[in-house]
Amino acid sequence: MKLALLLTAVALASLSVSVSLRGQCMSGLTCVVTVTVSNQSPEDVTIEEVTVVVGGAKTRSRGPVLLPSGSSTELELSFIPPPGESGLSFLSVSVGYRGRVGPIRYAYVQEPIWIASPKVDLGVSIEAPDSVYLGDYARINVSYRVDAPESPDRPRLIIIVNGSIISNETVGGRVGRLSASFAPELPGKYVVEAVLSLGSYVVREREEVSALSRETELRAASAIVVAAEDLLDDIEATYLRLSNMGLDVQRDVPFLLGIARVELEEAKEMIEEGVLPPQDLLYRSLNISWTVRSQLRSVLRRAIEVEIAQLEDMLSRLESLGGVDERSISAVREEVSEMRRALGEGGTLEETLRTYMEVRNRAGEVRAEINSLMEERETHLSREVGVAIVLLFLLFASVPVAPVVLRALR
């Protein structure tokens, strides 16, 4: 039911004017005001014009309208508050009239009114959300909802693709859906825009979709398969090499590599038949290969860590014993530290394998150096023990010590 907001009537001279709004006035939408003019004078008058001003909106109705003495008339005028102009405003109405003689006179009325803002929800989606192939149709779905009182305005929904209008309809009701389709003729990006206009209120939403050439995509998919096969071959070769070196490789690696190989064969068969394989099928093999690649790299890093830890343990035991030349120990310690720095630098599987081979080869040399230092220490200790025994013997035998010691130390 439409309710009218009755505003105060004001009487000027012999003419009284009252105004009422039809429902809630909203920015951007057509508002209807009823102006009631009553002639209480003893003479007939002629209404020449009626002007309505609300904020930045202005409308005018021109006569002549004859208004006999003792009668009244209702005039309907409409105005549209500018979009975004909401809140408290003032409705000003002026009525220009004249009697049988004399100049034009005016009657005025002004009342505060509240202008609300409509709420409009607009959504656009494309059934091919990422891409569509040349020769195929992309379906556009647009949904809308308008929360606003009834007004003379009717929603108009326009669908535009790359600047060209493909649908332009006046839609019924305040809630609804509209669908349209288009077939891209050239590869590239297509911008889909939905525009809902209601009065002077306009809402826009947009989506993008890429149009692709099927032949180009088949070539790209074939290139991905070739790259995935090369990667898989390299990983299988590295796996066999690590196994032959006696490293503890996870047991599920052959199973995973087998799955990746099956996925690639399936993708190749689809491409040979002219069917574009799904992206998840194309990239599943790559993801498996990268997972195995990461596992092999972790195996190598653990092996490097074991080698370094063993060397550090040997070096710690040697340092705890004492009696070894500090410069020799520092040189060995620096070599072990350099190995650990190389481990911390990370790198690809190939770089990690190269680091492992370098560390393993160098670890043998460092072990030999540590063992040599330990042998030198033991030899030196043995000589010192021998000298001590000789000194004790001579001491108890009362033999001059100095000449004997000198000969023992030579």
pLDDT of residue 93: 92
pLDDT of residue 194: 92
Spell 81-92 as b/e; 16+ CB within 10 A means b. Answer: bebebbeebebb
Which tokens sit at 41?
């004078």
pLDDT digits over 48-96, tens only? Answer: 899 999 888 888 888 788 989 989 999 888 888 888 888 998 999 999 9
Average pLDDT (327-347) is 76
- C-alpha 120/C-alpha 344 separation (Å) is 57
Average pLDDT (335-362) is 79
Nearest to 114, CA basis, from 7, 233, 231: 7
**Domains defined for the chain, CATH in brackets:** 4-116 (2.60.40.10), 119-212 (2.60.40.150), 216-366 (no CATH)
Nearest to 37, CA basis, from 60, 6, 10: 10
Which tokens sit at 337?
């530290």
Given a contact cutoff of 8 angstroms between Cβ atoms, the answer to whether 186 and 134 are in contact is yes
- C-alpha 258/C-alpha 1 separation (Å) is 72
Instruction: Using alpha carbons, list the distances in angstroms from residue 145 to 117, 127, 200, 400, 404.
Output: 14, 20, 16, 118, 114
pLDDT digits over 13-47, tens only? Answer: 478 898 988 888 888 888 899 999 999 888 899 88
pLDDT digits over 197-232, tens only? Answer: 888 888 899 898 888 888 888 888 888 888 888 988
Place 390 in a pLDDT band, splitting at 50, 70 and 90.
low
Nearest to 11, CA basis, from 38, 45, 43, 46: 38
pLDDT of residue 53: 92
Average pLDDT (385-410) is 56
Q: At what angle do helices 279-321 and 349-397 cross, to 10 degrees?
A: 10
Mapped onto helix, strand or coil, the DSSP state of residue 80 is: coil
Is the pLDDT at 1 greater than 60? The verdict is no
Place 2 in a pLDDT band, splitting at 50, 70 and 90.
very low
Strands 105-116, 87-98: parallel, antiparallel or unpaired by DSSP?
antiparallel
Percentage of the chain surpassing pLDDT 90?
A: 8
Which tokens sit at 161?
């693709």
Percentage of the chain surpassing pLDDT 70?
A: 85
Burial (CB < 10 A; 0-12, 13-18, 19+), residue 110, is middle
Got the DSSP string for 321-377? H--S-HHHHHHHHHHHHHHHHHHHT---HHHHHHHHHHHHHHHHHHHHHHHHHHHHH
Through-space distance between the first and last CA atoms of the chain, rounded to whole angstroms: 125
Got the DSSP string for 203-238? EEEEEEEEEE-HHHHHHHHHHHHHHHHHHHHHHHHH
- C-alpha 62/C-alpha 97 separation (Å) is 11
Place 365 in a pLDDT band, splitting at 50, 70 and 90.
confident
pLDDT of residue 402: 54
Place 315 in a pLDDT band, splitting at 50, 70 and 90.
confident
Got the DSSP string for 38-68? EE-SSS-EEEEEEEEEETTEEEEEEEEEEE-
Number of residues that make up the chain: 410
Is the pLDDT at 392 greater than 90? The verdict is no
Quote the mean pLDDT of the chain: 80
In this predicted structure, which of 196-200, 308-312, 314-318, 380-384 has the lowest mean pLDDT?
380-384
Which tokens sit at 132?
């569509």
pLDDT of residue 36: 92
